[in-house]
Structure 1
Amino acid sequence: MSLRSPLLALFIASLSFAAGAQNRDVRLPDLGSSAGALISPQEASQYGSAMLHQMRALHMVLDDPQANEYLNSVGYRLVAASDDPKQKFTFFVVRDKEINAFAAPGGYIGVNAGLITIAQDESELAGVMAHEIGHISQHHLERAFEASKKDAPLMALVLLGAIAAGASGHNSGDAGMAVLAGGQGLIAQRQINFTRSDEAEADRVGIQTLARAGYDPEAMADFFQRMEDTLRPGSGGVSVPELLQTHPVTASRISDARARARTLEQQMKEQPHPTLNRAALENSTVPLPFVKDPSTLTARPTSNGHKGVAGLSLFKLMRERVRVLSGDPNKLLDYYAGNFSRPGFDTPSNRYGYALTLIQTGQPAKAIRQLQPLLKQHPGNTTLRLALAQAEFQNGEHAAAFDLYAALSANAPDDHAIAMAYAHALTQAGTQKQARKAEDMLRPMLDDSEDPDLFTSYARASEKAGMPVRAGEAFAYASYLSGRPFDAMQQFRRLLDRPNLDYYQRARINAHIAQLTPLLLELRKRKVDTPDRDDDSNSLPDRSKEGSASQLCFSLTCG
């Protein structure tokens, strides 16, 4: 993992970011935001990464290990079946209740919490994600930028305003979003003129990807139909002016998607394409090869009669997890408890959501009582066992929690969600030796990671394990990944003041500073505010004194 965010990244990222933002007064399902730049793959990755950092600074990203790993497992199942399987993708959950998803440079695809919670099954979610993957694989972002490059200065100013709004207070996420949404309104008409052909192509490519990956190819049309029903006058939906429907859900689009899906299904019957085992894939928070003893879960029935196998849907568990972690826990207590008497609501996934809400509101004993009957029915389910371990730990039953975490880790040693939960428990309630074990578990996961929570967990484990320099580096990385580059620089500079640094430690820290310095200088030059902006120019090093340290080590795992 290296620091990489030139200021230009913020400007170009604004195009895709604004396209994904929705006017808060218009509840429009926007399937397929297209914007980006005519840039090299490395630059595109830098720009997408910068966008993600800024979204984190505005508290717009739901960084939950289980939800992230699930979304990325679905995403890479689709990528493997796409037209560009070598393209790197990063899928993340946006902390927003609007029904939306968007693609950004470098293969960054954001899926709103609102879209996940409204989807009825994994195939519908996969349908939207396949559509966004189609925008990336067909290079629509580059085309969109070429067609709208005259708007780039405008959107750069919009992003600067959003960053300033984000820096104005602790609860400023809505302010930043509002600025971006307003900026999008200024170019909505221009955008609609060149995206409709891209939308049709992304639909076609996405449906093909769905089928190749073993999903129901009609799921995309089914989702479109429900969105169209929502917007229909008299259905209780919202009437949206045609001008603002940059990606309209129309009867024609639905019928085209359904016709393509049925044609493709017929072709695959005549010439079957190797597909992934959908029932086996939905077994844990990580892809199948890393799990030694997967539990079997239910998949969506397809139009050719496939019914899956008996079990508990991982999609439905993750849907409730996203609902809980992106919502108000106190309101969700009433939502779950008040609806269990309704026909069809008392399901394992809703009981799991209720248990998570109880954990979130500090009622672990009640959560345990909700989870134990579920685990009797599904004893091997990783998601339920993780929730039980968390509830037991919060309830003070540390020995039981450690035993359960250890068993989960032995079964899936490369699962980031399990490792982070286990490491957190070891760090919080364990000995220094156990904290060292947590540090050992997390360190291999740091390479190429964009998860600030992972670096924070590693930092806390290192700190308790008696490794203060490693801890300081990790805390600084977490600040950088969270959109706080000035804060990260100050932390790195303070580390250099520590006595008794060895050669490798000093070289690593100097390398981080050398990589971060150009970004901060450019931010100051252009007077761009970030939430952590510090006007003390002494926090920036003298570039002439850095020597060749930046060539030595760019990762916390070096040396």
Structure 2
Amino acid sequence: MGRGNAPPHCRQGAGATRRMVQEDDRAPFVGDRLLVMFASRAVCPTRVLRRASSVALSLIASCHLALAPAQAQEKSGRGLPTIRDTEIENLLRDYTRPILRAAKLAQQNIEVVLVNDRSFNAFVADGRRIFINTGALVDSTTPNQIIGVLAHETGHIAGGHLARRREQLAGAQTMAIVAMMLAAGGVAAGAASGANGGNMGNAAAGAVMAPQEMIRRSLLAYQREEEQAADRSAVTYLNATQQSAKGMLETFERFQNDQLFLTQRTDPYLLSHPMARERIAALEVLAKASPYFNAKDPPALQHRHDMMRAKLIGFQERPDVVARRYPPTDQSLPAQYARAISAYRFASMSGAVAQIDALIAKEPGNPYFQELKGQALLESGRASEAVPPLRKAVAMTDGAPLIRAMLGQALVETGNAGMMDEAIRELTFSTQRDPDNASGWRALAKAYGFKNNRPQADLASAQAALATGDVRTARELAARARQTFPPNSPGWLKADDIVNIKPPQSSDNRQ
């Protein structure tokens, strides 16, 4: 993406882009109108069963939306984009690795996905990914605060909470159907005998809604128990890695302050998470009993954390906000980092490059300063000048796929035919390591286009479409590529695999 919106490699795409369904703990379940319609008159048993089943499914669907995130495709135009950045991803990987080892999940290839959202939140969608909002990273002042959040989400994965939650939802569906059948049967009998006259509609709605509310509260109570279990597991992992749980308590104290104005008007039984004050009370004894409670984050880790926050603020905020957060009087490296990024986004490129060069002079071995310089030059149309710093960044990171993809893109954008073989080599390596990088595939397709290699260009374009969730376009391009590859050659087999992908069902009938 261009300047002004996102950090390096911010993009959308299946496997890279996810949507978090916003949780509203107080939202009513759907289906009430249907219940009132059939409850206000006598109905036959088969119609009661069919409609009760429909309402039960609506009830369960609402519970699912309130409890779990969902995938989103780029073409839908919905959802929050994720951020891809080597520096931040490496830091979060270092935060998570010891926690996963303590949870015996080190071999599960669990990844941390950055959601471009300003709120303080994190969640799990399955057993493979932990999603964390950039707002949580910016608002956390110490690594320990984020490590505590990641430990909590790891507790959900290690505890199998998502699988058990699906079992609870399935059981709730059965209970909902039976309960509403019984309630609707009583309503039908009352209506047939003319009981209560004109009050029949209100009585019917109350009779059928009562079991819904009981099931809803039961599901939410179950989730609150899961949250408490994940908190306890997080403390266990932190102790095992000789880290403090103080960051978790500090996070809950933040939540408690945010909840102060809601406390008087919030029913705690209609929340999917325990109230912050309850979580603090439950964990404070455990946390303070740890011999590591007063352990501090290593200075080098704190520095990396501060640099991460500065990077996000520099890319995501307006210049005036950056200036307030990091005034010119602040000569720390994070402050200079944020101001350099802001200058590259909004000010003159020559001034921005001068600030980035000053950063490089202070830390010549920092690959991310070289990456930033390359990105700034590339996005300002100076691709040839971007190549040398990007080559340095690739060498310093031992070939980080995202940076290598940017180098390949810069080589392509030079338009120099003599650089296309190097571009193809860099982009091929990058996309093999990171197949969800749609922009890498697009650059590779362009490089093959320069070489007049139409089959490989079509195949790379198909991979780009696939990475963004556009299965229809991916299949069309792969079919065209398959026609020009020799039968059973590696390219033909890859194209054939894409052609045979089953298209997902979609609301816009695009298949």
- Please state if 1:401 is matched with 2:391: no
Structure with a larger share of its residues in helix: 2
CA displacement at 1:349 relative to structure 2:
2.2
Question: What is residue 480 of structure 1 aligned with on the other side?
Answer: 466
In 2: Cα distance, 1:119 partner to 1:465 partner:
48
In 1: Cα distance, 2:429 partner to 2:251 partner:
39
The residue correspondences of 1:406-417 to structure 2 (distance < 5 A) are: 406-417=391-402
- Decide whether aligned partners of structure 1 residues 249 and 506 sit closer, same or farther in structure 2, where only a CA change above 3 A counts: same
The residue correspondences of 1:114-513 to structure 2 (distance < 5 A) are: 114-149=135-170, 189-213=217-241, 215-233=243-261, 242=268, 245-265=271-291, 303-304=294-295, 306=296, 308-309=298-299, 313-325=303-315, 327=316, 332-341=318-327, 347-361=332-346, 363-394=348-379, 400-429=385-414, 431-445=416-430, 446-447=432-433, 449-498=435-484, 503-513=489-499
SS in 2 for 1:120: coil
Rg larger in structure: 2
Question: What is residue 21 of structure 1 aligned with on the other side?
Answer: 22
C-alpha deviations, 1:175-214, integer Å up to 9, x for none?
A: xxxxxxxxxx999645321012221221122223234445
My pick for the range that moved more, 185-194 or 408-417, is 185-194
CA displacement at 1:122 relative to structure 2:
2.0
Question: What is residue 58 of structure 2 aligned with on the other side?
Answer: none
Q: Is the contact between residue 365 and residue 395 of structure 1 (CA under 8 Å) also seen in structure 2?
A: no
Q: For residue 106 of structure 1, what is the amino acid of its counterpart?
A: G
C-alpha deviations, 1:262-289, integer Å up to 9, x for none?
A: 33336xxxxxxxxxxxxxxxxxxxxxxx
CA displacement at 1:321 relative to structure 2:
3.2
SS in 2 for 1:109: strand
Q: Is the contact between residue 353 and residue 373 of structure 2 (CA under 8 Å) also seen in structure 1?
A: yes
C-alpha deviations, 1:216-256, integer Å up to 9, x for none?
A: 3321112111221222239xx99755355311342231243
Q: Is the contact between residue 60 and residue 96 of structure 1 (CA under 8 Å) also seen in structure 2?
A: yes
TM-score, with structure 1 as normaliser: 0.64
- Decide whether aligned partners of structure 1 residues 341 and 230 sit closer, same or farther in structure 2, where only a CA change above 3 A counts: same
Q: For residue 22 of structure 2, what is the amino acid of its counterpart?
A: A
CA displacement at 1:24 relative to structure 2:
11
The runs of at least 4 consecutive aligned structure 1 residues that moved more than 6 Å come to 185-188, 499-502
Question: What is residue 510 of structure 2 aligned with on the other side?
Answer: 534
In 2: Cα distance, 1:198 partner to 1:438 partner:
49
Q: Is the contact between residue 92 and residue 112 of structure 2 (CA under 8 Å) also seen in structure 1?
A: yes
Q: Is the contact between residue 63 and residue 451 of structure 1 (CA under 8 Å) also seen in structure 2?
A: no
Q: Is the contact between residue 53 and residue 481 of structure 1 (CA under 8 Å) also seen in structure 2?
A: no
SS in 2 for 1:102: strand
Q: For residue 388 of structure 1, what is the amino acid of its counterpart?
A: K
Q: For residue 220 of structure 1, what is the amino acid of its counterpart?
A: M
Q: Is the contact between residue 459 and residue 471 of structure 1 (CA under 8 Å) also seen in structure 2?
A: yes
TM-score, with structure 2 as normaliser: 0.70
In 1: Cα distance, 2:417 partner to 2:404 partner:
17
C-alpha deviations, 1:46-90, integer Å up to 9, x for none?
A: xx9982657986352324232444434433343233232222312
Q: Choose from 102, 107, 115 the match for 1:86.
A: 107
CA displacement at 1:409 relative to structure 2:
1.9
Q: Provide the aligned length of Structure 1 versus Structure 2.
A: 415
In 2: Cα distance, 1:150 partner to 1:213 partner:
38
Q: What is the percentage of aligned positions where both structures have the same residue?
A: 18
CA RMSD of aligned residues (A): 3.8
- Decide whether aligned partners of structure 1 residues 242 and 311 sit closer, same or farther in structure 2, where only a CA change above 3 A counts: closer
CA displacement at 1:312 relative to structure 2:
7.4
Unaligned runs of 5+ in 2: 1-14, 28-67, 175-212
CA displacement at 1:433 relative to structure 2:
3.5
Q: Is the contact between residue 439 and residue 465 of structure 1 (CA under 8 Å) also seen in structure 2?
A: no
Q: Is the contact between residue 83 and residue 114 of structure 2 (CA under 8 Å) also seen in structure 1?
A: yes
- Decide whether aligned partners of structure 1 residues 342 and 494 sit closer, same or farther in structure 2, where only a CA change above 3 A counts: same
- Decide whether aligned partners of structure 1 residues 369 and 262 sit closer, same or farther in structure 2, where only a CA change above 3 A counts: same
SS in 2 for 1:313: helix
- Decide whether aligned partners of structure 1 residues 307 and 500 sit closer, same or farther in structure 2, where only a CA change above 3 A counts: closer
Q: Is the contact between residue 356 and residue 367 of structure 1 (CA under 8 Å) also seen in structure 2?
A: yes
- Decide whether aligned partners of structure 1 residues 71 and 407 sit closer, same or farther in structure 2, where only a CA change above 3 A counts: same
CA displacement at 1:144 relative to structure 2:
0.9
Q: Is the contact between residue 57 and residue 482 of structure 1 (CA under 8 Å) also seen in structure 2?
A: no
- Decide whether aligned partners of structure 1 residues 461 and 263 sit closer, same or farther in structure 2, where only a CA change above 3 A counts: farther
Question: What is residue 5 of structure 1 aligned with on the other side?
Answer: none
- Decide whether aligned partners of structure 1 residues 17 and 419 sit closer, same or farther in structure 2, where only a CA change above 3 A counts: closer
- Decide whether aligned partners of structure 1 residues 188 and 109 sit closer, same or farther in structure 2, where only a CA change above 3 A counts: farther
CA displacement at 1:362 relative to structure 2:
6.8
Q: For residue 439 of structure 1, what is the amino acid of its counterpart?
A: I
- Please state if 1:108 is matched with 2:129: yes
In 1: Cα distance, 2:381 partner to 2:232 partner:
53
In 2: Cα distance, 1:194 partner to 1:112 partner:
25
